[in-house]
Amino acid sequence: MEFVAKNTDNPFDDDLFEPFELEDEPSVSRTDPPLYTAPPRVEQYTPESNVPTVRCQSCGAPNPAHNRHCEECGARLGKGPLPVAAPPMSRSTPGGRALGVLGGVVLLVALIALFMNLWGGGDGTATPEENVSTTAAIEDPVEQVAIAPASVDASSQLDGYEAARLIDGDVSTYWNDQSARGVDAELTFVFAQPVALSEMEFTNIQQRNPFRQNYRIKDIEVTVDDLELQLTFTIPDSSDPHRITLDTLRTTRLTVRVLTTYPGEPVGDSPAFDELALAEVRFFGIFAE
């Protein structure tokens, strides 16, 4: 048997190795799909198109108006603010949550109470307890009535023109004081039982000539036996009735003292008189219990 020496320096020097040349083209079937497909070519924007354009302020390249960034340099095209995410909602504190729960409970209780008040009657007939108001009822004001004194005394009076004429209910009769033009004259009214007086009314002479000829009351001082008060009032120089406001509790005696007067004056051939004249005095209030 003959042995053939092998070249150990050349690993391809072997009977089993079949050499090939790189120039040979591989056999490819026409039906096989291509090994590589080139991506479609992106058409660059050209100014000749009809799309509205905007020019980049950084590089000057034209860009479609709807672009946000330049296709050449990437710079931002628009000047408006970028959309900003809404700030996160602040987390409520335990105290705030507790107040919210409490407010909801109060509102619920109020709604339940309102519903019960509106519909709780059932047949629509309210019980006496339901008719009681939750607030204090306003009492009807007590009607003030005219209160006639039992008597009246004057510090002085002219014969035929006594003080009793002041409480006879007739304004055509009148009282004349006989003192010096009425200053410091006093009238004392006495009531048969305690009264709470609210008003006092003065009426001068109604006849025109006697009204002008006599002196007339101007300023007075009023005192009562149930209060330590001295109230002063001014009476208008008019024949119309005039009321003054009082606020007594349990009066049985009231005194009027004349402080000043309006002077009398002559009428035609008739001279002025020196006497003070007053036609009627009335009182209003309620009888004290």
Phi first, then psi: give them for residue 212, nearest 5 degrees.
-75, -30
Q: Report the distance separating Cα 230 and Cα 234, nearest Å.
A: 14
CA 263 to chain centre: 54
For 260, residues 6+ apart whose C-beta sits below 8 A from its C-beta are 183, 218, 219
Full set of structural domains in the chain with CATH: 50-78 (no CATH), 148-287 (2.60.120.260)
Using alpha carbons, list the distances in angstroms from residue 69 to 134, 168, 226: 73, 111, 100
What's this model's pTM, rounded to 2 decimal places?
A: 0.53
pLDDT in tens, the chain (289 residues): 555 555 555 555 555 555 555 555 555 555 555 555 555 544 455 555 567 888 887 888 888 877 878 888 888 777 665 566 666 565 656 666 777 777 888 888 888 888 777 776 555 454 544 444 444 445 556 789 999 999 999 999 999 999 999 999 999 999 999 877 789 999 999 999 999 999 999 999 999 999 999 999 999 999 999 999 899 999 999 999 999 999 999 999 999 999 999 999 999 999 999 999 999 999 999 999 7
Using alpha carbons, list the distances in angstroms from residue 204 to 27, 37, 280: 148, 129, 7
